[in-house]
């Protein structure tokens, strides 16, 4: 692992556990066994470290949203989204922890604003496919509940089930919660959502 990758991993863990405001460049340097100047050689500021730490997760979630939003929503595409969303939560637990617990307090930080905007786009897209308040609440409880449950488990250091068992259970539960929700395709909504992000924009050939 290179110094920059190690620093990114250390920073992510510290931002998630101690909070962005409670984490210093000096603290990250001490954990890495480096001088503060060495950290600043790789990352010009704490904000750039935060960008490096959570930016890849935001890009991944943008890709997931782009995939589902570039074509009419169907039962199949919704199920594929559920699998991708659960995998995202399990692959990026510390990043999700940071989004959920610090998203509001750090909304003036560009990378966090980007994450907050992505959550809003995700909610807006799915709301555009729903016909009732109950359906909207099902989506909120299913997706938000899955994320919050994993974050709480991490925060409280509760014993977790094996990863594959957790994955299978989450996919089943989220799918069951959303099963009663009728699919109302909105093809005209998909393109504007996709165009809001530079990540994986469809080309003319696609």
The total of structural domains in the chain comes to 1
DSSP string, 7-29: HHHHHHHHHHHT-STT--HHHHH
Residue 170 lies in a domain: yes
Residue 3 lies in a domain: no
Q: Quick one: pLDDT at residue 23? A: 95
Residue 136 lies in a domain: yes
Q: Quick one: pLDDT at residue 130? A: 82
Q: pTM of the full predicted structure?
A: 0.82
Residue 26 lies in a domain: no
What is the token pair recorded at 105?
């307090």
Domain limits for position 101:
53-195
Q: Which residue has the higher pLDDT, 179 or 199?
A: 179
Residue 1 lies in a domain: no
Quick: pLDDT tens for 97-140.
Answer: 998 889 889 989 999 999 999 989 988 888 888 888 899 899 99
Say whether pLDDT at 204 is over 70: no
* pLDDT-based confidence at residue 161 (cuts at 50, 70, 90): confident
> Is 104 in contact with 91 (CB distance < 8 Å)?
no
Residue 28 lies in a domain: no
Residue 102 lies in a domain: yes
Cα-to-chain-centroid distance, residue 42: 25
Arithmetic mean of pLDDT, 62-91 = 91
Say whether pLDDT at 202 is over 90: no
Phi and psi torsions of 119, nearest 5°: -60, -40
What is the token pair recorded at 199?
């990540």
Say whether pLDDT at 70 is over 90: no
Phi-psi region of 33 (alpha: psi -120 to 50; beta: other; left: phi over 0): left
């Amino acid at each position: 692992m290179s110094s920059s990758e190690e620093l990114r991993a250390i920073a992510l863990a510290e931002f998630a556990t101690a909070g962005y405001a409670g984490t210093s460049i000096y603290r990250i340097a001490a954990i890495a066994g480096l001088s503060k100047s060495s950290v600043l050689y790789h990352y010009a500021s704490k904000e750039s470290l935060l960008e490096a730490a959570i930016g890849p997760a935001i890009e991944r979630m943008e890709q997931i949203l782009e995939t589902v939003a570039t074509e009419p929503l169907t039962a199949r595409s919704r199920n594929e989204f559920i699998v991708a969303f659960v995998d995202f939560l399990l692959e990026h637990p510390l990043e999700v922890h940071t989004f959920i617990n610090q998203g509001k307090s750090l909304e003036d930080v560009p990378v966090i604003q980007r994450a907050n905007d992505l959550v809003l786009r995700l909610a807006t897209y799915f709301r555009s496919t729903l016909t009732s308040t109950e359906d909207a609440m099902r989506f909120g409880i299913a997706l938000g509940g899955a994320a919050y449950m994993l974050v709480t488990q991490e925060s409280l250091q509760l014993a977790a089930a094996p990863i594959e068992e957790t994955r299978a259970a989450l996919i089943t539960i989220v799918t069951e919660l959303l099963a009663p929700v009728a699919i109302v395709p909105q093809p005209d909504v998909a393109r504007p959502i996709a165009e809001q992000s530079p990540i994986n924009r469809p080309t003319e050939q696609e």
